[in-house]
Amino acid sequence: MPLQSILPQLFINGLIAGSVYALAACGFALVYYVVKFQYFSQGAILTIGAYIFFLFLNLMGLNYILAAILSIIISILAALTTNWLVYRPLRKRKAGGVPLLVASIVILIFSSSLMQALFGSSTKTLLLSNQNKVFTFGFLTITLFQIAIIILAFILFFLLFYILMRTRLGKAMRALADNKDVAQIVGINPEKIYNYTFIISAVLGGISGILIGLEQNLYPRMGVLIIIKGFISSVIGGLGSVPGAIVGGLFIGLVENIGIWFLPSSYKDVISFSIMLLFLLFRPQGILGVRMRDDN
Amino acid sequence: MLSLKNVSKSFGGVKAVERCSFEVEECTITSLIGPNGAGKTTVFNITSGLTKPDSGTIKLLGKNITGMPAYKIAQSGISRTFQITKVFKNLTIRDNLLIAKRTNDTEMNRVLESVYLNKPLDTIASELSYGQQRLLELARALSMPHNLLLLDEPTAGVNPQIRQELKSILRNLRKEGKTILLIEHDMDFVMDISNTVIVLNEGRVLKTGKPKEIVKDKKVLEAYLGK
Amino acid sequence: MITDFFISFSTYVIIYIIIVSSFNISFGFTGLVNLGHMVFFGIGAYTSAILTLHGMPWYFALILAGLFTSLIGAAIAAITVRLKGDYFQIVTLGLVFIAIAISRNWISLTRGALGLPGIPPIIKDNFNYMLFTFLVCVICLAFFYWLTKSETGKIFQAIRDDETAASILGKNTYFYKVLSITISTFFAGIAGSLFVHFIKFVDPSIFDLDFFVIILTMLVAGGLASITGSIIGVVSLAITSEALRFVVVNPELIGPVRHMSLMLILILILIYRPRGILGKVNV
């Protein structure tokens, strides 16, 4: 098939993958923006969200809306627990970026071992009724569920912007991100806002975990693979920028899916990583031109 | 010894240094003064190669050093200290001095004595008080072979006794034939020891002259006190 | 049976000591948080495996594994050490996923996910092989102790504490950072080679982050910037990890439980004892 006729399909596939990456990336970016560390354990939250959904839906036979709500609640609890048990004590001892980064990678890997211990290492499949209902437009095919992913992702992006730009909480988050000392002087309690930040990113993480679980499959390492894409998206869009993470996620989704027309599909990771390296070397502030943190 | 010609540098549209030119004579103490934000530290960073200037030339002993990497400028003979001390905090005093110059314990103790820092060479730098860390940094800057010494606010954060000692340290260095350029806020200190004073304001050289001429100058007064 | 277990356990410990202390050179001594350090272990393992499978004698393969790995390390370092702290960590973490993708896809060389079986051993008898790895390890450690006491070692530490200060004292910090990575990846390659001739098999899972987290725990537990610390870190955690075998009843759970225990230890050290057992600097 010539490229022109398959291009719309690749574009749609890219948009689906991109929406998922962007969802994973914006939780990561939100924490990086407000709390100032590389929040890889967003991948753990994603994994937990997906597996808890699987537990309630498939193993306990709950209604899918109830299962989703419960799994988002548990994702929130998981994120708050990691903050209370690990990140807050590290901030208290004034640890630099490296221990926080190491801790977040460890929590990420921990979640995959935990899921392996609890649910076994085999791949699990989630399925909703109507999920695979296919729409065909000429060469183009897309499932009902994939349309739902794209729409839901954009609703969530809109809500996130609304919270950040229009609410008191969002203002406090931006103030804290801009200058912690000044924010404290005007009466903002950082720990309280950090908790809200973890809650919001956990909601995004739980939902993206469920969506990824439905679209692909469940396996213990899913969080590791997705959050790496989320974080590459975040770097490409502009590290520390929430809109940047979304733009970066969509960009990576599109490039990977159009790129596999030219390269074997298993080189997806190499494509996105190489693009990230090019950005780091030649445009470290990312697509949206966010100024990078100055270490001087 | 050192000459800056039309050096300019801006950070994201803000002009930190603008067409700045001055010279530092051999065997003198020259002070760079000016209100906060006048661009003094930027001049130091440009001279020592930590910041690349947008335009202009910097010459050391007639040799153009503009845009050279910091380590090469250091090797060409510029040694410096920082406003906020940059000692190697996990290393011992001995190792801090060793990075500046390969030498023996006797020599090291002599340098420490000359800056009135009486501590065993095996002391870890982070165990020193802030004032002592500043002295260690000075000792390290002195140990490195150099023609020109740049000192960024040597009296900041040190007690009055060390401040007096610093004066005699700097005078002794001048006697030994060293050339020193320093940034300083303590006017008594500056007027007391400098041969030449350069006043910077908003990134430009406002006035150059002997200490006596500077204290009388109206423009300098205005820059400090506002119009 | 008991002796077999003891010999293989000791061989692993010896190889881990080489890899952990080589990691300490870049991370602990130079402050370069190379999150892809185990990628170089894997490169060494693959290099040695492929060369010996094509009939090269082991001693050439061992040395070439070190040299080739450090060549790749130097090339990557030359590009990446200029990046600021955060970005260096990001790129080196990315190496892990690049390595996995390449080893899975370059089928003609690596047989992809199937891996390379039947790698010839250096010495057939396990006890003698343990002695051989011990000898190599002693040579490596002697070099590490010498290096960290040498002027170059002091410059590495100066760069870790304050890179700007090192550069205004006339040190070409770029060169020394590349050198540090080159040296540390050379020994990672040697360790990879020793490892692969012991287990006689290699597949892309050698690059997994799980393995890296174990090595990282041993390094941090022993303490940064202390070679003796690294030795103690490896030995104590290897014993802890083996002891768990007797606590966990279900054989399927041994792997994940061991792994999770090590990770908990790492988190506790990060919070409560950032210098580990013998460390000279905080994590």
Cα angle C86, C89, C92 (rounded to 5 degrees) comes to 150
Of C158, C164, C280, the CB nearest to B99: C158
Tell me which chain C residues have a C-beta less than 8 angstroms from the C-beta of A105. Answer: 35, 93, 209, 213
CB contacts under 8 A, C 184-203 vs B, are none
Does residue A288 lie within any of the structural domains? no
Whether residue B13 lies inside any domain: the answer is: no
B50 interfacial to chain C (CB closer than 8 Å): yes
- Residue B90 to residue C280, Cβ atoms within 8 A: yes
- In this structure, is residue A291 part of a structural domain? no
How does DSSP assign C53-73, residue by residue?
A: HTT--HHHHHHHHHHHHHHHH
Determine the distance in angstroms separating the CA of B80 from the nearest CA of chain C, rounded to an integer.
7
The total number of residues shown for chain B amounts to 227
What's the pLDDT score for residue A53? 95
Q: How far apart are CA C179 and CA C157, in angstroms?
A: 13
Q: Is residue B196 part of a domain?
A: no
Residues of chain A neighbouring C91 (CB-CB closer than 8 A): 276-277, 280
C85 contact A CB<8A: yes
A68 alpha-carbon distance from chain centroid: 17
Check CB contact under 8 Å for B50 and C155: no
A280 CB neighbours in chain C (<8 A) are 83, 87, 90-91
pLDDT in tens, A33-42: 999 999 999 9
Q: Is residue B182 part of a domain?
A: yes
User: Quick one: pLDDT at residue A294?
Assistant: 38
Interface test with A, best of C86, C106, C272 (most A CBs within 10 A): C86
Instruction: With respect to residue B34, please indicate whether it lies within any of the assigned structural domains.
Output: yes
Cα B220 to Cα C249: distance, rounded to the nearest angstrom: 82
Q: Where are the domains of chain C?
A: 11-206, 208-283
The terminus-to-terminus CA distance of chain A in angstroms comes to 54
Output the pTM of the full model: 0.91
- pLDDT at B211 > cutoff 90: no
What's the pLDDT score for residue A290?
63
Residue A141: give the domain boundaries.
26-221
Q: How far apart are CA A160 and CA A166, in angstroms?
A: 10
Q: Which two tokens stand for residue A41?
A: 């354990």
Q: For the segment B103-112, what is each residue's pLDDT rounded down to a tens digit?
A: 999 999 999 9
CA angle C99, A23, A227 (to 5 degrees): 25
| C161 → closest Cβ in B73, B91, B98 | B91
* The predicted structure's pLDDT at residue B225: 62
Find tokens 């970026």 and name the residue: A97
Rounded (10°) CA dihedral B166, B172, B174, B180: -30
Q: Are A22 and A245 in contact (CB under 8 A)?
A: yes
Alpha carbon distances (Å) from C190 to B47, C55, C143, C210: 44, 19, 14, 21
Q: What is the largest distance, in Å, between two alpha-carbon atoms of chain B?
A: 55
Q: CB-CB: which of C161, C167, C171 is closest to B90?
A: C161
Nearest CA in chain C to A115: C256
List, for residues B191-210, the tens digit of each pLDDT value. 889 999 999 988 889 889 89
Report the alpha-carbon distance of residue B81 to residue B134 in Å, rounded.
8
CA distance C213 to C135: 27
H/E element holding B206? Answer: strand B204-209
Strands (E) in chain B, as ranges, are 2-11, 14-24, 29-33, 55-60, 63-64, 78-80, 148-152, 179-183, 196-201, 204-209
Instruction: For A152-207, write each residue's pLDDT tens digit.
Output: 999 999 999 999 999 999 999 999 999 999 999 999 999 999 999 999 999 999 99
Selection from B160, B165, B56 nearest residue B114 by Cα:
B165
pLDDT score recorded for residue A291? 55
Query: Which residues in chain C have their CB less than 8 angstroms from residue B95's CB?
Result: 154, 157-158
CA distance A129 to C7: 56
Q: Does B90 touch chain C (CB under 8 A)?
A: yes
At residue C12, the pLDDT reads: 96
Q: Touching B: which chains, 3+ CB pairs < 8 A? A: C
Q: In Å, how far is A267's CA from the nearest CA of chain C?
A: 6
Structure token pair of residue B197: 């004073």
Quote the pLDDT of residue B186: 85
CB–CB of A232 and C216 under 8 A? no
**Residue A286 within a domain:** no
Concatenating the DSSP letter of every residue in C120-176 gives PPSSSSHHHHHHHHHHHHHHHHHHHHHHHHSHHHHHHHHHHH-HHHHHHTT--HHHH
Confidence bin at A261 (pLDDT 50/70/90)? confident
What's the pLDDT at B197?
Answer: 93
Cα separation, C205 vs C194, in Å, equals: 17
Residue A142 lies in a domain: yes
Q: Is the pLDDT of residue A15 over 60?
A: yes
pLDDT tens string B132-150: 999 999 999 999 999 999 9
CB of C281 less than 8 A from some CB of B: yes
B10 three-class SS:
strand
Q: What residue numbers bound the domain in which B187 lies? A: 26-191
- ipTM > 0.95? no
In contact, C36 and C185? CB cutoff 8 Å: no
Q: What is the DSSP letter of C116?
A: B
Q: Which whole number is the average pLDDT over B64-82?
A: 94
Residue B223 domain-assigned (yes or no): no
Q: What are the backbone dihedrals phi and psi of residue A263, each rounded to the nearest 5 degrees, phi first? A: -130, 155
Cβ(B67)–Cβ(B52) under 8 Å? yes
- Residue of A105, A113, A293 lying closest to C256 (CB–CB): A113
Number of domains chain A is built from = 1
pLDDT (0 to 100) of residue C247: 80
Q: What does the pLDDT read at residue B37?
A: 82
Kind and range of the H or E run holding B217: none
Which of the 8 DSSP states describes residue B161? H
Among B79, B91, B144, beta carbon nearest to C154: B91
Distance CA C183, CA C171 (A): 18
Low-confidence ranges of chain C (pLDDT < 50): none
Question: Which of A227, A249, A228, A234 has the alpha carbon at shortest distance from A285?
Answer: A234
**CA-CA distance, B50 to B34, in Å (whole number)?**
21
Using a CB-CB cut-off of 8 Å, the residues of chain B touching C226 are none
- B/e letters for C126-139, b = 16+ CB within 10 Å, e = fewer, are beebbbbbeebbee
Q: DSSP assignment, residue A86?
A: I
**Chain A residue with the nearest C-alpha to that of C80:** A281
Task: For B95, name the nearest residue in chain C, comparing CA atoms only.
Answer: C154
Q: With respect to residue A2, please indicate whether it lies within any of the assigned structural domains.
A: no
- Angle at which helix A268-282 crosses helix A242-259, to 10 degrees, equals 130
Strand order, beta sheet including B63-64:
B14-24, B2-11, B55-60, B63-64
Structure tokens at C128: 């003698």
Q: Which of A28, A102, A296 should be substituted to probe chain C, the one whose Cβ sees the most C Cβ atoms within 10 Å?
A: A102
C contacts of B50 (beta carbons < 8 Å): 164, 167-168
Beta partners for A135? A142
Question: Which residue among A86, A90, A269 sits closest to C97, beta carbon to beta carbon?
Answer: A269
Whether the pLDDT of residue A292 is over 70: the answer is no
Are C93 and A276 within 8 A, CB to CB? no
- φ, ψ of residue A124 to 5 degrees: the values are -110, 145
| Dihedral pair phi/psi, residue A133, rounded to 5° | -60, 125
Spell out which residues of chain C touch residue B86, defining contact as CB-CB under 8 Å.
162, 164-165
Q: What percent of chain B has pLDDT over 90?
A: 60
Q: Classify strands B179-183 and B148-152 as parallel, antiparallel or unpaired.
A: parallel
Of C167, C169, C172, the CB nearest to B100: C169
**CA C192, CA C215: separation in Å to the nearest integer?**
13
What is the number of domains present in chain B? 1
Q: What per-residue confidence (pLDDT) applies to A293? A: 41
- Angle, CA of B27, B29 and B31, to the nearest 5°: 150
Give me the percent of chain B exceeding a pLDDT of 70. 99
Q: Categorize the per-residue pLDDT at A136 as very low, low, confident or very high, splitting at 50, 70 and 90.
A: confident
Q: Return the residue of C nearest to B48 by Cα.
A: C168
Which CATH number goes with the domain that contains B70? 3.40.50.300
Angstroms from B70 CA to nearest CA on chain C: 6
pLDDT score for A165: 93
- In this complex, do C267 and A106 lie within 8 Å of one another by their Cβ atoms? yes
Neighbours of B39 (CB within 10 A): 24
